[in-house]
Amino acid sequence: MKRLGKWIGFNLLFGAVSMLWAVGVWAGTMEYEGLIEPYALVNIGAPAEGIVAEVTVDRGSPVKQGQTLVKLESSVERAALEKARAMATVDGEIGEQQTQLAFARRVHDRLRQVAGVSAHDKDRTATEIALTGYRLEKARENRALAELELKKAQAVLARRSIRSPISGVVVERYVSPGEFANRQPLLQLAQINPLRVEVIVPAAVFGRISPGMTAAIVPELAEYGEQTATVTIVDRVIDSASSTFGVRLELPNADHQMPSGLKCLVRFEIDQNDKNVK
């Protein structure tokens, strides 16, 4: 009887705790610790080997997408570009062949009107017209190839200037002028608008958080106040060891005022009647 009484008492206590827990989770506020991180971290490398001529930014510098960050020594590439530009703009060969073609046609027209000219001479002038036409076409092909060489030289020179693929801030600077750039990263950039918030939540709330939901973000530094973030990713695999899963939120940071790396509280408001509840 004593054992039965203990069993009944335990079940009643467990049922009451479970009911209170369910009310607190499913129809109230869930609050977890999270971490505010950059939206993206990018290591900037050099597309070609060379000596670093100039680094236009330093650690902490804000950068815009497309901004030049590092310049490599490029005297050889600039000389090649000037040569290619000159070759692509020279029209002398085309003009010469056009003049010769016009002359050959005039000669041929005159010979056709002279009765005493042999068929051989007429055929020779006709052949000269055809050959000159081929030479003119060849000159035009050479001009087209020169224009392609110009584009290639421009592309090679452009590879000597490393531009930012994102807008953000410089996290680390690894090189200085005079150093040899090879395969090592030159800079590390962070995209901080938007920021992302990573939070680990218990498996018990799986299905109650979904992409598109909003949550309150309370950074550890009080001066940044409470912010609102939107859920973008909910892991579909639960970690069996910890019985948790990950959630990622996107936090707007248009003025770049909030730094990344802050700890925060992530507060979800869940209601059984909420449309996000499945």
d(CA 265, CA 219): 7
pLDDT at 134: 85
Residue 15's SS3 state is helix
pLDDT at 273: 53
Of the listed ranges 28-37, 45-54, 91-100, 250-259, the one predicted with least confidence: 91-100
Nearest residue to 255 via CA among 227, 215, 276: 227
The whole-number average pLDDT for the span 18-34 is: 61
Residue 21 confidence (pLDDT) above 80: no
Residue 275 confidence (pLDDT) above 50: no
pTM over 0.85: no
